[in-house]
Amino acid sequence: MTAASALALENIDCTFASREDASQRYTAVRGTTLRVAEGEFVSVVGPTGCGKSTLLNVAAGLLQPSSGSVEVFGERLAGINSRAGYMFQAEALMPWRNTIENVAAGLDFRGVGREEGAARAGDWLKRVGLAGFERRFPHQLSGGMRKRVALAQILILNPQILLMDEPFSALDIQTRQLMENELLELWGADRKSVVFITHDLEEAISLSDRVVVLSAGPESRPIGDYAIDLPRPRDVAEIRLAPRFIEIHAKIWRTMKEEVLKGYAQQQRQ
């Protein structure tokens, strides 16, 4: 390795013991190495239940791998990854805080004063198009709006790495494309390193510099690594029609198809 990667997962194993029976073990991820360069947008795709979220939790420091190491800008990770922002698949906003309090939460935890926090949170709400919704509580917002709040909540802390776990999977297709374009625009402004988890290959290709395909679980590992040489800036809705996009899609899908079928069979058996 030449320069230190922004994020390097080296030879990660994750084995879970069953809660009822400790002899029953499930290895979600085996021998996985994933390196993300500074400013690189990497998507990880794979069939459902292939341990994508496990990998992301390891990168976030929320989960200790059974073996292997995590390095963040060349430093070994211990505890929570404080240089990363994590956007969860499920609702993660604090329901008892209104929009602006939610966005300011990270500043609040870091001891930034209330007024300054509110001012900066207000700026971010404007940037994600939610000016005027400062006093709403999460349950009073639509799904897409809640995702914007979550995005602002993370970006206000200016993390060097963004970890995103199928953040838009619960949204309808139009809202989703809108959010994807907004994400690209925000990312383009200061080029953070991104690890974007999704099961949607089209989403992965249209957003990323690189797509990593994981095999079906258990014991999933990367089985393909594709550079995406589509020009930027991109519009996620339009780029899907470009011939080069279709070419890349076909190439990756050939690898992925078999794994998707395996993953499906796996789920049927359970």
Distance, CA of 268 to CA of 24 (rounded, Å): 20
Encoded tokens for 19: 């809660």
Contact 27, 239 (CB under 8 A): no
Distance, CA of 129 to CA of 114 (rounded, Å): 22
The Cα-based distances of 246 to 13, 63, 84 in angstroms read 34, 36, 32
| Choices 45-53, 138-146, 213-221, 247-255; region in contact with another protein by CB under 8 A | 138-146
Distance, CA of 149 to CA of 95 (rounded, Å): 12
Query: Residue 49 or 138: which CB sits closer to another protein?
Result: 138
Query: Contact between 82 and another protein (CB under 8 A)?
Result: yes
Distance, CA of 139 to CA of 182 (rounded, Å): 23
Binding to another protein in span 28-57, by CB under 8 A? none
Closest CB 83 distance from another protein, rounded Å: 11
Query: Residue 110 or 257: which CB sits closer to another protein?
Result: 110
Binding mask 92-131 for another protein (x = CB under 8 A): xxxxxxx------xx-xxx---------------------
| Choices 5-13, 81-89, 166-174, 212-220; region in contact with another protein by CB under 8 A | 81-89
Task: State the CB neighbour count (10 A cutoff) for residue 123.
Answer: 13
Contact 8, 84 (CB under 8 A): no
Query: Contact between 78 and another protein (CB under 8 A)?
Result: no
Kindly tell me which residue out of 7, 45, 84, 171 binds another protein, with binding defined by CB under 8 A.
Answer: 84
Query: Residue 11 or 169: which CB sits closer to another protein?
Result: 169
Binding to another protein in span 148-187, by CB under 8 A? 153-154, 157
Torsion sign over Cα 197, 198, 201, 202: negative
Query: Contact between 3 and another protein (CB under 8 A)?
Result: no
User: For residue 197, with 0-12 CB atoms within 10 Å meaning exposed, 13-18 middle and 19 or more buried, which class applies?
Assistant: buried
Query: Residue 91 or 182: which CB sits closer to another protein?
Result: 91
Torsion angles phi and psi, residue 37, rounded to 5? -75, 165
Nearest to 223 by CA among 59, 4, 34: 34
Kindly tell me which residue out of 52, 77, 86, 249 binds another protein, with binding defined by CB under 8 A.
Answer: 86
| Choices 28-36, 74-82, 183-191, 219-227; region in contact with another protein by CB under 8 A | 74-82
Distance, CA of 21 to CA of 68 (rounded, Å): 25
| Choices 24-32, 89-97, 172-180, 187-195; region in contact with another protein by CB under 8 A | 89-97
Query: Residue 141 or 236: which CB sits closer to another protein?
Result: 141
Closest CB 59 distance from another protein, rounded Å: 11
Q: Give the distance from CA 151 to its chain's centroid.
A: 11
- Positions in the binding site for another protein (CB under 8 A): 60, 62, 80-82, 84-86, 88, 90-98, 105-106, 108-110, 137-140, 153-154, 157
